[in-house]
Amino acid sequence: MDAAVVTDLRGQRIVRVLRAVFAVYGLIALLWIPLRNLGSDDFSSANYLSYFTIESNILAVVVLLVGALRDPQSRGWQLFRGATTLYMVITGIVYAVLLANIDVMLQDGWINTALHRLLPLVLLLDWVLAPSRVRISEVQSLSWLVFPAVYGAYSLIRGPIVDWYPYPFLDPRQQGYLQLAVTAVVLLLAMALMALAVNAVGRLGARRRFGQDR
């Protein structure tokens, strides 16, 4: 067997092992707070699952676990993988810029680091260093914004019902609906740029590995 092929196979095995390790790490981080607060009247599972951070990290664990076990190369899976990478990038950037000093139910330092810093970086590196040959267009990458938009609508509809909003920038009680609308437009534009950037760095990764653009 050609030495380059052997090296590539070894690299793929290493990638799969690392994906499995970080998938387990992410799963532990996600389950730590709910399990620790079982039976507590102060903890709401519904609110916990209504954080974008938690939802994006659940998707990240799925992507890492499936990538470790099967590593599918279908267009549908790569679109899902790219979307999840975007959501994790959003999680990391929004936390760093807007939420670093705000209580988001993640008081444990290692969980904060795992869900807001480490796993977003892991997903982005995995996307760049272990790319697929599937070419994703700019329009397709912008379709990844559907989930954040639906999430925002869900939060605004649920908020008045339960008298709770996951993030200050989604809370009209603090800023009014006009300011909230302006914030939403700015965030959506920023996320669109992030989507295009995630797709672009994925193409660069494919060009580096395969010698061609996706």
CA dist 135 and 212 (Å) reads: 10
Q: Which two tokens stand for residue 68?
A: 């470790």
The pLDDT of residue 148 is 98
**Identity of the amino acid at 146:** V
Q: Where are the domains of the chain?
A: 3-210
The pLDDT of residue 57 is 98
Percent of the chain with pLDDT over 70: 91
Contacts 24+ apart (CB under 8 A), 78-82: 78/132, 78/134, 78/136, 79/134, 79/136, 79/140, 79/144, 81/127, 81/132, 82/127, 82/136, 82/141, 82/144, 82/198, 82/199, 82/202
Q: Is the pTM of this model over 0.95?
A: no
Please write the tens of the pLDDT for every residue from 117-138: 999 999 999 999 999 889 999 9
Please write the tens of the pLDDT for every residue from 153-210: 999 999 999 999 999 999 999 899 999 999 999 999 999 999 999 999 999 998 887 8
